[in-house]
Structure 1
Amino acid sequence: MRSRPRTLTAPLLLAAALLTTALTPAATAAPGHAAASLTVAADGSAAFGGIQAAIDAVPANNTSPVTITVHPGVYREVVLVPSDKPHIRLVGSSGRAADVTIVYNNSSGTPKPGGGTYGTSGSATFAVDADDFQARNITFANDFDELAHADQPNHQAVALRTRGDRIVLSNIAAHGDQDTLLLDSANKDRQGRVHISHSTISGNVDFIFGRATAVITRSVIQVTRRPDGTSAGYVTAPSTAPRFPGFLITDSTITGEVSAGTYYLGRPWYSGGDATLHPQVTVRDTQLSDAIRATPWTDMSGFPWQGARFAEYRNSGPGAGTPSGTRPHLTDQQAGSHTPATWLGGWTP
Structure 2
Amino acid sequence: MYAIRHVIVVDTNGGGNFSTVQGAIDMVPEHNTQRVKIYILPGTIREKIYIPITKPYISFIGQMNHTSRTILTWHDLASDKNQYGIALETYNSASVTIESDYFCATRITFENSAVPVRRGQGNQVVALRIAGDKAMFYKARFLGKQDTLLDESGTHFFYKCFIQGRVDFVFGRARSLYKECHLNSIAKRSGAIAAHHRDSPDDLSNVFIHFPVGKQG
Query: Structure 2 length as normaliser, TM-score?
Result: 0.94
Is the contact between residue 71 and residue 94 of structure 1 (CA under 8 Å) also seen in structure 2?
no
Matches within 5 A, 1:233-252: 233-242=191-200, 244-252=203-211
Report the secondary structure of 1:98's partner residue.
helix
Is the contact between residue 214 and residue 248 of structure 1 (CA under 8 Å) also seen in structure 2?
yes
Matched, 1:74 2:36: no
Tell me how far apart the structure 2 counterparts of residues 240 and 133 of structure 1 sit (CA, whole Å): 24
Deviations 1:285-307 (A, max 9, x none): xxxxxxxxxxxxxxxxxxxxxxx
Instruction: Tell me the equivalent position of 2:159.
Output: 197
Q: Residue type of the partner of 1:238?
A: H
> Higher relative contact order at CA 8 Å, sep ≥6: structure 1 or structure 2?
2
Matched, 1:101 2:59: no
Tell me how far apart the structure 1 counterparts of residues 21 and 44 of structure 2 sit (CA, whole Å): 11
Distance 1:109 1:152, change over 3 A: farther
Query: Structure 1 length as normaliser, TM-score?
Result: 0.59
Q: Between Structure 1 and Structure 2, which shows a larger proportion of strand residues?
A: 2
Matches within 5 A, 1:1-349: 35-146=5-116, 149-150=117-118, 153-185=121-153, 192-225=154-187, 230-242=188-200, 244-257=203-216
Q: Residue type of the partner of 1:182?
A: L
Is the contact between residue 194 and residue 214 of structure 1 (CA under 8 Å) also seen in structure 2?
yes
Q: Following TM superposition, by how much is the alpha carbon of 1:240 offset from its aligned partner in structure 2, in angstroms?
A: 3.1
Q: Percent identity?
A: 28
Q: Following TM superposition, by how much is the alpha carbon of 1:108 offset from its aligned partner in structure 2, in angstroms?
A: 0.7
Report the secondary structure of 1:119's partner residue.
coil
Tell me how far apart the structure 1 counterparts of residues 147 and 119 of structure 2 sit (CA, whole Å): 19
CA RMSD of aligned residues (A): 1.7
Is the contact between residue 72 and residue 94 of structure 1 (CA under 8 Å) also seen in structure 2?
no
Unaligned 5+ runs, structure 1: 1-33, 186-191, 259-349
Is the contact between residue 238 and residue 247 of structure 1 (CA under 8 Å) also seen in structure 2?
yes
Deviations 1:67-95 (A, max 9, x none): 00000000001001100000001101344
Q: Residue type of the partner of 1:198?
A: K
Tell me how far apart the structure 2 counterparts of residues 41 and 53 of structure 1 sit (CA, whole Å): 11
Is the contact between residue 106 and residue 157 of structure 1 (CA under 8 Å) also seen in structure 2?
yes
Tell me how far apart the structure 2 counterparts of residues 151 and 196 of structure 1 sit (CA, whole Å): 31
Q: Following TM superposition, by how much is the alpha carbon of 1:138 offset from its aligned partner in structure 2, in angstroms?
A: 0.2
Structure 1: 4+ residue segments shifted above 6 A: none
Tell me how far apart the structure 1 counterparts of residues 147 and 114 of structure 2 sit (CA, whole Å): 11
Is the contact between residue 109 and residue 152 of structure 1 (CA under 8 Å) also seen in structure 2?
no
Aligned pair count?
Answer: 214
Tell me how far apart the structure 2 counterparts of residues 56 and 99 of structure 1 sit (CA, whole Å): 24
Q: Rg: which structure is higher?
A: 1
Report the secondary structure of 2:169's partner residue.
strand
